Amino acid sequence: MVPGAKNSVLKLMAACLLADGTSEISNVPRIADVSIMSELLEAIGLRLESPETGVLRVTNPGDLTPVAPYELVERIRASINVLGPLLTRCGHVRLSLPGGDDFGARPIDMHIAGLEAMGAEFKVSHGYLEARADRLHGAEVVFDFPSVGATENILTAAVFADGVTRIDNAAREPEVVDLCRFLVAMGADIEGVGTATLTVRGVERGSLRPATHRTVPDRVQAATYIAAVAVAGGELEMVDAHANHMDMLLARCRDMGVDLEPFTTDGVEGLRVSCSQRLRATDVQTLPYPGIATDYKPLIITMLSVADGVAIVTENLYPGRFRYVEELIRLGADIRTDGHHAVVRGQPRLSGAPVRAHDIRAGAAMVVAGLAAEGTTTISGVRHIDRGYDDLVGRLAAVGADITRVED
């Protein structure tokens, strides 16, 4: 069973700032980032409890303190998602500039520009971003790039804005769609869900209601298990893996020689994965959804490192996201990077060695690389993996991987 998506559940939790009462979110992954986001929301004034595994109840008593402190914000990039809800709900917010994974600059200029178009005023003081708006108003917001975070912040801010907000070149990721569906269930008026144009008609503050919602499955976790089968061989059946959320990735995996077959059991989608031959090299480039996500790239480069032939991988979103290549080279991979590009010459096998996880997805790639390596691979820095993966070690061990976690 593929767990709920990290990149969705954190945004659903932040959206609970908009409605008084108790909302219930299910299919919540057991990851460190959920715990960190819970601490942040509790500092703002929400109450969170988990009555059973995979379920989170979020109670908004209505008495919020719209301040996001540094010691929590610097631990998680998704903390920026409280900006839109707090500003539109409370009229002001004080937010420490967010942290998260270190793989290149990810500015929030588009978040600020969109909210300024809606009437917000910003200033930066003593490391904090402060925003004010008695009541936001509708606006035409056009993004130069379909930023997921900016789309989510403008979307949540527009829910209580006066009039109509139109977001053009909006991000279309399944996680954005998931947030839209949650907001609609709460009473928001949103059209164009799943398209590049979102139209939000503002409703009165206090008119949203709590909702019950199931988090969309994590397509990046699903991709990780596909990559594991691709490099190690064998077959795997993944329940609650949505093939239509990964169309371009699955196409490239098929080009490499991975067999993929969608199925449905009792109304639940799934994906059968098998690979019985050495992978074939194929060129890949990252693009905004529905293109190949940048989160997939460390997994793809790991797959190509043991493929037959030479491939070029182009990073169009975060050019600094190649730090993990040095770790793959330690395992025997033949990879050269030049700016936005990586040239990967596949080797028959990698060789086990000590490596480090630099961020969440790079850490998962190291685990996959270890499955493709002769001997033992020891990975340090696994706290990064804990931020985004629900028992990666246990799930792989359960399907035959020789993998254990050793506490330091």
The CA dihedral of 344, 349, 351, 355, to the nearest 10 degrees, is: 40
The dihedral over CA atoms of 112, 117, 120, 121, expressed in degrees to the nearest 10, equals 70
Q: Within a 10 A sphere around the Cβ of 378, how many other Cβ atoms?
A: 12
Residue of 33, 101, 218, 295 marked active site: 101
How far apart are alpha carbons 86 and 272 in whole angstroms? Answer: 42
Query: Helix, strand, or coil here: 7?
Result: helix
**Single-letter residue type at 53:** T
In DSSP terms, 58 is beta-bridged to: 23, 48
Residue whose token pair is 């659903």: 12
The number of helix segments (H) and strand segments (E) in the chain equals: 14, 23
Contact 321, 103 (CB under 8 A): yes
| b/e 266-279 (16+ beta carbons within 10 angstroms → b) | eeebbbebebeeeb
Sheet containing strand 197-201, strands side by side: 140-142, 164-168, 197-201, 189-191
Q: Which two tokens stand for residue 31?
A: 């990851």
Which amino acid, one-letter code, is at 309? G
SS3 assignment, position 178: helix
CB burial of residue 366 (10 Å; 0-12, 13-18, 19+):
buried
101 is catalytic: yes
Whole-angstrom Cα distance, residue 169 to residue 205?
27
Any idea which residues carry the catalytic annotation? 101
